[in-house]
Structure 1
């Protein structure tokens, strides 16, 4: 067997496995999980009336021939093994820890996993009872738990809206820098945690933009947060 043939088969196997995992994830999602399906070119709107978004599964591509098929020629619907590997990470980065979010279902956001196929964004998410706290750039956040220990659900250093920490340099609402792992390594399991919201601490994801550190904590583990200069 030629090496190129083996590579194609290997890649096909990986793609199939990814699709099967995505399918299993949507099937096994909790009964109370919410689902959003958005056709290519539109924007998905996720929201939680109570709590904060936690994305369970996401796929930008096509896994059946019926969804978002109205008015489309058969040739754009025939590929039902289409999945963008960045779907979950991209959607989670834009939405996790927020009460609501909007995600454009377009190739420029997710790249194009299957050229010529009309795609859609399928998202399953839940609403967690957690608490969100903000530390503006240049300030220090002191997180202290009187009962239990700190548990970070999500953290972003950047800017996801223009209203938070208003500033003359708040010029964009699309500055994403996922710092969940870093905050978890520094704070999880502790009674208190102190962090400076600064470029020197987290690096600068958008030069010239005034940023903030956005941390979502599991509500049951948080008792108090103090922000000071």
Structure 2
């Protein structure tokens, strides 16, 4: 290499890493020259302005006459690798991007700025795969945007059709991930439905990792006016801790007698407030009993405001309880454990820091995406995390629309049918009735009323089929009663096999 060539190479290197005031930093990583790291100063984050792998000029990374070749998937891959991070590694390899121009030396060009505002992480996973997204310890996931479908032609393989996405997917992904330290995403039609048949789809998610807000705290004193707990519009109360009694000498006036509380108060307060936009706290012995006669007591509540209604079930050791959702909805597990974290729940106990390892996973397997489940708070199920201490299951969950596409069966009056699920799965009813809701099915007789349903039919269908591998049904007035005399009726059910 002569001196002129050396000078040109040095100039090209500085241009490659130059600060372009109008555009940001420009970083070049040449093929066959190893990985290259892009970094921002401490406290700043990479914001990608443009990126590609290929060649758009004749001189970068050595002279080559062929230009204008780009790997179509490269902008998205590079952005997902670097966006919102303090640093990232660029790997200019055909194995990552494909080879857009065989025999030509290519390069990655990344134009970016460093911003003090943390940018969302971006992840994409292709149909029928799965991916886990995580936040560091002490942080939780906040979904910024999410969808299942296809919005460009190149992600997850080339496809000319774009701009299709499942309308339910943002909500399903948000419910699955928001507020958790990690979650798993599975881009499948069985979860989201198929927004564009025959097209390869993917999940694309943008999210941030945030510190959880501290819980609000409200105190309502005995012999003083009631206190209202309220969340902003569109948010719901999630009770973290609550009791009626006295645990210090100074709240609601000085009293040297403290450390007393009503053992039933956490459950009463939680049932009054949990999942509501507001609730009223009345600090009265007539509600909770008097845990310390002659002492001024108070209600102390710590709570958070969440964007979804969270239901709660507490099942004390050896006392099973059922968690359930209304018709057409299923359980989405939020928090769950077997052990003890509060000395006031399920009668007083000083030990309050034990949880059975793996209890969340067992409860999740039992309840997740089922319309109902029975919680069995027993050492034989979860093991004993703290011997001699009374334990309980504390279970928080959402009720969400079922992610499955339900099966539908119609049985004409005076006919019978066996309804069954594949081996290893059970029937769970989404909807069902005996009567008529349209004029086209089972129309081989008189129809004077096309909007009638037997009031008890859904409950009887649940008794006959829910939780079973198969059931035999007969469409008959004898079984369900006659909701519309003189009209030929049918039995219609929608169900999932889970």
Instruction: State the TM-score, normalized to the length of structure 2.
Output: 0.26
Residue 106 of structure 1 and its aligned partner are, at CA, apart by: 0.6
Matched, 1:160 2:304: no
Residue 40 of structure 1 aligns with which residue? 127
Residue 44 of structure 1 and its aligned partner are, at CA, apart by: 2.7
Matched, 1:208 2:391: no
Contact 1:134 1:214 in 2 (8 A): no
Contact 1:159 1:173 in 2 (8 A): no
Residue 79 of structure 1 aligns with which residue? 161
Distance 1:152 1:172, change over 3 A: same
For 2:367 and 2:155, the matched residues in 1 are separated by 29
Residue 144 of structure 1 and its aligned partner are, at CA, apart by: 2.7
Of the candidates 281, 305, 317, which is equivalent to residue 151 of structure 1?
A: 305
Residue 58 of structure 1 aligns with which residue? 146
1:83-122 matches, within 5 Å, as 83-122=165-204
Residue 92 of structure 1 and its aligned partner are, at CA, apart by: 0.8
Distance 1:174 1:126, change over 3 A: farther
For 1:170 and 1:88, the matched residues in 2 are separated by 25
Residue 81 of structure 1 and its aligned partner are, at CA, apart by: 1.3
Contact 1:64 1:80 in 2 (8 A): yes
| SS across alignment from 2:141 | strand
Residue 87 of structure 1 and its aligned partner are, at CA, apart by: 1.3
For 1:174 and 1:35, the matched residues in 2 are separated by 30
Residue 173 of structure 1 and its aligned partner are, at CA, apart by: 6.0
User: How big is each residue's C-alpha offset from its partner over 1:60-99, in whole Å with a ceiling of 9 and x where there is no partner?
Assistant: 1111111111xxxx6xx11111111011100011111110
Unaligned runs of 5+ in 1: 1-28, 177-203, 216-229
| SS across alignment from 1:170 | helix
Comparing both chains, which one has the higher relative contact order based on Cα–Cα distances under 8 Å and sequence gaps of 6 or more?
A: 1
Q: Which has the higher strand share?
A: 2
For 1:46 and 1:110, the matched residues in 2 are separated by 19
Q: Which has the higher helix share?
A: 1
Of the candidates 365, 376, 380, which is equivalent to residue 172 of structure 1?
A: 365
Unaligned runs of 5+ in 2: 1-83, 85-116, 216-238, 242-263, 271-299, 312-330, 339-358, 377-393, 399-498
User: How big is each residue's C-alpha offset from its partner over 1:152-205, in whole Å with a ceiling of 9 and x where there is no partner?
Assistant: 3555445638973339x83626626xxxxxxxxxxxxxxxxxxxxxxxxxxx94
Residue 214 of structure 1 and its aligned partner are, at CA, apart by: 5.8
User: How big is each residue's C-alpha offset from its partner over 1:15-54, in whole Å with a ceiling of 9 and x where there is no partner?
Assistant: xxxxxxxxxxxxxx97421111000011131211141111
How many matched pairs? 148
Contact 2:336 2:395 in 1 (8 A): no
Distance 1:207 1:163, change over 3 A: closer
Instruction: State the TM-score, normalized to the length of structure 1.
Output: 0.52
Distance 1:51 1:96, change over 3 A: same
For 1:173 and 1:43, the matched residues in 2 are separated by 22
